[in-house]
Amino acid sequence: MKRLFRGPRPALAATAGTIVLLTAMTALGHFANNIFLPSLPAIARDLGTPISVVQLALTVFLATLAVAQLVVGPLADRFGRRPTILAGLILFMLGSAVCAQAPAIDVVMIGRVLQAAGAGASLVAARAVTRDAFAGPDLARVMATTSMGFSVVPSMVPFLGGAIQEAAGWRWSFWAALAVGAVVLLCVLARLPETNREHLRFRHPGTLLTAYLPVIADRRLLGYAAAGMGAMGGLFAFYAGSPTIFIERLGISPTGYGLYPPISVMGFLAGSVFARRNAGRIREEHLVAIGLAILALGAIAMVTPPALGLLHRFALIGAMAIFVAGLGIVMPISMAAALRIFPDRAGTAAALLGFLQMSAGALGAALASALKAPLDVLAFPTAMLVFAVLALLGFSTLVLLGTSARRS
C-alpha cells in the first residue's frame, strides 16, 4: 500500500507523515478537551465558579463538536476537504485565544464553542479524506492505525496539562492548544491536497438536511453508530468525573493525575493492534461485538470496587485499561464499516457518526456530573456501565440480529 489513491485521483503518499497528519486532525478536539482537565479545580478557584459549572465547559465543547459536524459534513462533500479543514483550524485557533484570555467562565464557554466548531470541521474532513483514500480491509487497518494515535494523543495530554498548570497556570493550556492548531494548519497547507472528486450538489442550505436522509435510514449504520456512542459516552464520563476523584479525593497532584491516563492507554493500543491484525480475517460485526464485550467488562470492573467501599487509583486505572481495550476495537472497526456503506457521501456519513458519538460523549459527561451528588465516587463508573449496556443492546438489535435474519 504505497499510495492512498490509485487511478485518476490525486496521489497522496501513504507515508508516516500523512498518517500522523490525519491523526492530528482527528485528535485535535480531544487534545483541546483533555489538556485543561487537570486545571478544572484551578479554573473554579480563579474564576470564583463552582466546579460543577466549570465541568460544563466539557459538556458544552462536546455538544458543540457534535452539532458542528452535522453542518460541516455535507459542506465537506460539496466544497471539498481541504478548505473545510483550513477554515476549521482557523476557527479552532480563535477559540483557543478567547479561552486563554477569558476574564469569566461565560467567556470561557464562548471560546469553547468556537474551539469545538473548528475541531469538528477538522475531524469530519479528515475522516472523509481517509475514506476517499482507502477501501476494503485497508480502510479498517488505516482507521485502526489512526485510532491508536487518536487515543495516545489525548491520553498523554492530561500530563502535559498538569505540568502546564503547575508551571504557568490554566491559561497557558489554551495557548498550547492554539500552538498545536497552528502547527497542524501549516502541515495541511504544505502537504494535504484536495481528495474529494465526488462533490455533493445542493442549491440552498435547506438541502443540507436532505443529504442525511438516506444515511439516517440505514439500519446498519445506526447499529455501528450505537457501538461508537456507547464507547464515547463511557469514555467522557470518565474524563468528567475522574479529575475530582483523583485530585481532591485521592490527593494526587494535577501532574500526577496526568500520569495515569497514559498507563491505561496501553489497553487501547492492545485493542487497536488486535483490530488491525484481524481486519479482513474476522467479520466486522463480530469484531465490534468482541470489542463491546471487553468494554462492558471494563465498566463492570470500574463500578465494582467503589460499590464495595474500595477506592484505589490502580484499581480505577486497571479497569479503565480494560474499557479502552474494547474501545480500541470498537471505534475503528465500527467507523470503517459505517463509512463503507456510503462511499459517495463519506463526509455526510462521517458527520452523522461524529455527531452521534460526540452527543453521547456530552451525555456521558453530563450524566457523570448529575450523578455526583447522589452517588459520589460511584457517579462516573455508573455512567460508564450505563453506556456500555446501551451500546451492547443497540448494536445487537440493529446489526447482529439483522445480519442473522438476512442470512436465514
295-341 pLDDT, tens digit each: 999 999 999 999 998 888 889 989 999 999 999 899 888 988 887 88
Residue 4 has a pLDDT of 40
What's the confidence (pLDDT) of residue 212?
Answer: 76
What's the CA gap between 74 and 355, in Å, rounded?
A: 13
Query: Looking at residue 25, what is its pLDDT?
Result: 85
Predicted TM-score of the model (pTM): 0.70
Per-residue pLDDT, 137: 65
Within-domain flag for 338: yes
Residue 6 forms part of a structural domain: no
* Helix 105-133 and helix 137-167, axial crossing angle in degrees, nearest 10: 160
Alpha-carbon distance 145 to 24, whole Å? 12
* Residue-level pLDDT at 92: 95
For the chain, what is the domain count? Answer: 1
45 within domain boundaries = yes
CATH code of the domain in which 278 resides: 1.20.1250.20
Residues 6+ apart with CB under 8 A from 310: none
Q: 48 in a domain, yes or no?
A: yes
Reduced to 3 states, what is the DSSP secondary structure of residue 168?
Answer: coil
Q: Which range of residues forms the domain containing residue 368?
A: 16-407
Residues 122 and 75: beta-carbon distance below 8 Å: no
Residue 225 lies in a domain: yes
What 8-state DSSP symbol labels residue 10? P
Examine residue 4 and state whether it is found in any structural domain, yes or no: no
- Give me the DSSP letters along 52-76: HHHHHHHHHHHHHHHHHHHHHHHHH
pLDDT for residue 6: 41
pLDDT of residue 3: 43
Please state the separation of Cα 260 from the chain's center in Å.
Answer: 19
Answer yes or no: is 11 within a domain: no
Establish if 8 belongs to a structural domain.
Answer: no
Q: Amino acid identity of 329? A: I
- Per-residue tens of pLDDT for the chain, all 408 residues: 344 434 344 345 555 677 788 788 888 888 888 888 888 888 888 888 887 788 788 878 878 888 887 887 777 777 778 888 899 999 999 999 999 999 999 899 999 999 999 998 888 888 777 777 766 666 666 676 676 666 666 667 877 888 888 888 889 999 999 999 999 999 988 887 777 666 555 445 555 567 677 888 888 889 999 999 999 999 889 988 888 888 888 888 877 777 776 677 788 888 888 988 887 788 889 999 999 999 999 999 999 999 998 888 889 989 999 999 999 899 888 988 887 887 767 667 877 887 888 789 889 988 998 898 889 899 999 999 999 999 999 999 988 776 655 555
Residue 349: φ, ψ to 5°: -65, -45
Cα(104)–Cα(106) distance, integer angstroms: 5
